[in-house]
Each structure stands twice: as structure tokens, then as C-alpha cells.
A and B are shown apart, each in its own frame.
Chain A
């Protein structure tokens, strides 16, 4: 068999292909995004970006009810968006197998919280697999689809950032033979979840879980690795790897499925040890269930509940030993936070909001970086689409003079995800806030994915492009202005006017991301600072552009200089300079 290095996400995509998945749908979100991007390698799978995770799951449910296998992928917080169909899908069960991949983000590498989505398995009464490496990511994806059909249930596959984004050696398998398409099947008792039907399905769900609890005790994905017989460890997922590193001699019950638990297996295992640990990241999910069985274990009494569990953190908790660095720099090192790219169309909008002393209810995307110095112009950030509802609520409690400062800022992809509902509410309930849609023609933060407003599909085919102005008009917004954020004076004038207007206004700042994939932006020649004209006033530094560097030793009070390797000639900084010191570059 072919061996190759695959990330967890690549392996999940491969597993879906091997399992004969017909439909894959998702909304991008770190660390899940590459699953769908990699599924496009397999033409037998119809893969698409949905406008949000709820729609993605509903598309998957439709495919399953139509008889085809489906994979739906999202980041952990995406499952919150998809939770409504999810809980009822658990009642209906499936026709074609359905796997929902939840990619959790312990340590919040790129998220607004670190919720532990294993809790969803128990809450929605669905089985959940948890792979420990890329090989298991592939194998468990295949297995999820088989188990889904075997027990007539949707199945969770839970990954975490370290599984999704780590690469390890994988042996590829053979794809299952392709299945013929089926006809629709009328079965209202199973598929129409009105109270009379749903009550009966709930009984089926409970029976299903009871059967699975016995079945999982005989499955090879739950296995015991025999060590020296002194210490017993129950673990799963990435924590299994850390347990093997730190306690190489322990006996380990390695769980491939974290819900439902193999209770009899756990009882037999636990009875052999005086010292038993449950080693898991984030919540005491397994621990609480084991304790509820009357078994004494160590878990969160010694392990951290916040952040990632790393080998070093595990070692410290179990043995008190720390991993000491041989050498640690003694200077104070400047941080290197992520920043908006040179030429980013968001930059001038936040500069303007800062100058106008706006209070900005923000949203999720690259533009969330607008909260950082020197732009410092984002004041709230909760979840996808929250900015507009937040602005509505805030204006209701402020006096009118203060309320006019409230501006909602949201990206194009996020607006289409769940922002539009907030705008409907704002108009419907006669609120007075200003909404800024930063339309950079892509879903930038997750790596430039297409969306219903970008004009392209996941596969790169041209498609209908949503007309944002017409969409806003149709929900009742009367004041809609489009600005080019590269024109600072005009952008400022429009935003100031609309903030003063006692009505709902939408300002669309439209300019493609410098990194957009289709119709790529051509960089212009880099600009340069004329050192004879630069007075060291630092006005250009207010943009926070990575290409503008400060030279403290130059001149009497320092001078700005533009790094030609980073500058893309967007033309914002000349608009900041009152001394006409920034212009075209003179070579030689």
C-alpha cells in the first residue's frame, strides 16, 4: 500500500473518498478548512462551501435522506450554528451514512472560545470517534460512515488542531466500490419530526445508545495496551500520544470512540489498578462518566482544564517534573502579532473609525485584527454575524448622542453567513445604527475561500454573485453607499455622514483582498519616502502598515522608510503625509 505524509484534515478527506462519500459540505473555519479543500482532489465527491454551518449540515442531511453518504465539516463553534438540525437528525437517523466532523481548537490558536465538543455527543445522543493521528483520521472517517449506517445514526468525528494540522505517515486504503444512486423513499414516521413521530423516535435513540454501549466493548478501536501493570490510564485522541510519551510503561485503555463509552470494558480495566488516571484535554468528559460508574480516578484534580494538554504540561501534572530550557533569552523580546497585510483594504476603514471615535461592534475575520494598535478600532467580538445584532441592542440603551457612535463592522462572507438576519432585525425594529460591510471579495482569514458573494464555487467554477446592495435594499435599507477604502477622504466623509443619520445605513467598503485567488490583484510598484521631505511626524505610522518602518536614528527626530519588498503601492500612506514626502520610487 502507498505510504504518504498526510495532515489529519487531508486524511479525513481521503477517508471520505475511500468510503464512497457522495456529498461533502462545509463552511470554512480553522482548523477544519482543509478538509473540504482536499476533498476537491476526488472528483467522485460533490464538494461545496455552504453560506454557513447550519446550511452545510442540512445539505448533508438531504444527501443522506436521498440515500448517499455525506460528510459535513466545521470548526467547533460552527457546530453551535448547526445544532438545530443536528439534534433532530439524531432522532431521524440516516439513510446514507453521515459523518459530522467537528474540529476543536484547544488553546484557541484561532478561535473565540475553546469549547469541548465531546459534550455535543452526549447532548445530541450521537456516537463520536476521536482519532489520535492521521492514520486513525482516515480509518475512523471510513468507520464513521459504516457505523452510521449500521446503527442508523449520524456520527461525530472529533478532531483537534493538533490532529487536523499535524502530518504523520499514513497507508492509503482501497476505495469502496461505487454505489448506484437510489430513489427517494417516503417514510414520514422516520423523516417527519412532528411530535407524534418524534416521541417514538426518541425511544429508538435511547435503544440505539444502549445497544452501542455493548457493541463498543468488542470493537478493536477501543483497545488495551499492556505495559508494566502498575498504572492504568484511560485516554483518547491527542492525549493518548502525550500519555505514551510521559508514561511509556503504563497500561493504557485507548478509546477510539469517546461516546458512548465501553462501560464493561472500563469496569474490567479499572479493577486491575490501584492508581487510575483519565488523561484528557479540556473538560472532564470521560472522567465524569467514569466517576458516575462509581470508579475512583485521577483526572482534573491534577490535570489542567484550560488550554491544550501538552507532553510538558502532562509531565508536570503527573510527576511534578518540569521541562527546563537550557537557555532563555534575557532581553525583553518584541512580540510579533499577526497583522493586516500591506495593501489590505480593511486598514483605512479602521483608521477612519478610530478618527471618528466610533464604538465598533465587531465580527469574525481578518478585520478582527482592527482591534490592535495603532488602529484600535474594534470594541466587541462575539461570534459569526453578531456585530449587527450587537449594534441594535446597544443603540437601544444609549442616549442618542452616544448611540450615533455605534457602528457594526462585518466582512462580506460573515455577512452572508449570519449577518443578514441581524440587518433584517435592525430595519424591522427601526434601529438607527450604521453597518459597515467590508467586502474584500473572499473569506480571507481562513485562507481565501469562495462564498456566495465571490462569484466562484469551491471547485473554482464561475457562479452567480450575490448583489450586496440589492440584498440590503430588499430587506429595507434605504441608505446604501459603496466606497473605495483606498480613498481615505471619501471613506471618512461617507462614514461620518452615515453615523449622523438617524436611520439604518449600510456602507459597503469594496476592494478585493490582496491575496484573492481569482482575478488576482496586481501589485503596484513600491513607494518610497523622500528623506529630504520627511519631517518625522509619524502620521504614516498610524496606518500600522508592515511595510512602513521607523528609523529612530535618521534626521533629528527619526524618519519613516518604506520596505520595498513588502510595499505593494496601495497608495494609502501618501494620503496620510502632509509634506508630500511619499511617492514613486527613484531607482539608483
Chain B
């Protein structure tokens, strides 16, 4: 299985800090010695639109795009955007979902419905599902804007990278004044991970 490429997806809403999360993740994987490719679409997607980031790592990675049904891990920052992108996961794939709803415009306008029982539907399709209260973890860490790093912590246990390398990478990539709360958020997320709710 030397040539196996691992496929990670991060989905959510523009403005949630997905870009930074995917940057940290791909940096960590590169420092761990893997070939890494990542991509996401900028531009129109920034304005509160649906955002999906693809990260692939292994001995050698060619394409940066993860086809339908080939994702190994989906990290969802928002429930509808987690649910929407389940089609990218393989059978037996792993889901880490932030327990947060952000209503899209057709729903705030009262024209369409936000789907019901999303968490239950995800769990019934993917038994390896962890729902994390990222907002609570971030406020425990002392900074509500650290949700993205807390969620990285929550998938970190599934990746072949030690906590020290994560910490070193965060130290290099996060501005000094936010560092302490980000490290704390990461550790809280990492601790939350094994406990399947």
C-alpha cells in the first residue's frame, strides 16, 4: 500500500476559516515528508458561498481533485455543507462535523427548507462519524475565531502526524497574539476526537 493516496475534504461556508485550516493541514503533511496537493476555488465562493477544499497526500500525488466516492475523510464546518458533500466520501469514510447551522439565502428568505435531522442521516450512512461542538471548544480556548483550528485538532488523530509537528506548524503559521488560544483550541479538538457522540 506504499502508493496509497489519502484524500481529505474540508467543506463549509465562505468566511469560516477553511482556507487557513487547509493551509495548516497541507503544511503539516508536507513537513511530515509526504507529497501533498491541495486546491480550492477562490473568487465568487468567498462571498458566503459554499466552499470545498481538497487535500491529497501520499508518496506521489498527481491530480489535486478528489473524485466522487473517493474521499477518506470529510471535515465539515457547517452541517448542510457536510451533508451536501457526503457524495465525495468512499464507503466507510470518516466524517468529522461541526455542530453548526448557517442558513443559506433561500432559507433565510423563507423560500426553501434547511434539511431536518442532518446529524442522524450522516451517522446512518457513515458509522465513523464524530459531531463536534466547535463553537464551544473555541470559546473554551478563549477565542471564538479558533473553531477552524479546533476542528483540525478533531481530525488530527486520524492522520499519521504527531502532536508536536502540529504544534510547531501552528507556531510558524499563526500570528503571535492568537497563538496561545489556537494551540489550546487544537488540543481541545484533538482530545474531543476519540469520543464518538
Contacts and interface: CB of A to CB of B under 8 A. Distances in A.
A471 to B, nearest CB: 29
A570 interface: no
Interface residues of B, number: 57
Q: Among the interface residues B38, B39, B62, B87, which one has the most CB atoms of the partner chain A within 10 A? A: B62
B68 A324 contact: yes
A541 B23 CA distance: 36
Nearest to A551: B110
B65 to A, nearest CB: 5
Contacts of A336: 13, 48-50, 80-81, 104-105
Contacts of A510: none
Contacts of A165: 39-42
Interface stretch (B29-37, B149-157, B159-167, B182-190): B29-37
Interface of chain A: mostly helix, strand, loop or mixed? loop
A369 B49 CA distance: 12
Interface in A331-383: 331-341, 366, 369, 373-374
Contacts of B37: 133, 166-168
Contacts of B26: 5, 167
A315 B67 CA distance: 10
A328 B61 CA distance: 27
A329 B39 contact: no
Interface stretch (A65-73, A189-197, A237-245, A434-442): A237-245
Interface string A309-331: 01110010000000111111101
Contacts of A334: 80, 104, 106-107, 112-115
B46 A447 contact: yes
A405 interface: no
Contacts of A445: 43
Contact of A325 (B48, B87, B110, B115): B87
B63 A242 contact: yes
A338 B45 contact: yes
Given A337-B49, A373-B109, A323 B38 contact: no
A56 to B, nearest CB: 19
B84 interface: yes
B39 A162 contact: yes
Contacts of B115: 329, 331, 333-334
12 contacts: A109-B43, A110-B42, A110-B45, A325-B87, A326-B90, A326-B125, A334-B115, A335-B104, A335-B106, A337-B105, A338-B14, A552-B110
A558 interface: yes
Contacts, number: 169
Contacts of A50: none
Contact of B89 (A162, A327, A549): A327
A446 interface: yes
Q: Among the interface residues B27, B42, B46, B48, which one has the most CB atoms of the partner chain A within 10 A? A: B42
B186 to A, nearest CB: 19
Given A5-B38, A323-B68, A325-B69, 12 more contacts: A5-B26, A5-B36, A109-B44, A166-B38, A241-B62, A241-B63, A242-B62, A244-B62, A335-B50, A338-B47, A366-B47, A552-B110
Contacts of A526: none
A170 B25 CA distance: 16
Contacts of B110: 538, 541, 550, 552, 558
A166 B22 CA distance: 11
Contacts of B133: none
Interface in B53-68: 61-65, 67-68
Given A167-B39, A326-B89, A541-B110, A333 B47 contact: no
Contacts of B121: 329
Interface in B120-149: 121, 125-126
B87 A328 contact: yes
A337 B91 CA distance: 29
Nearest to B114: A334
Contact of A339 (B48, B63, B125): B48
A5 B39 CA distance: 12
B75 interface: no
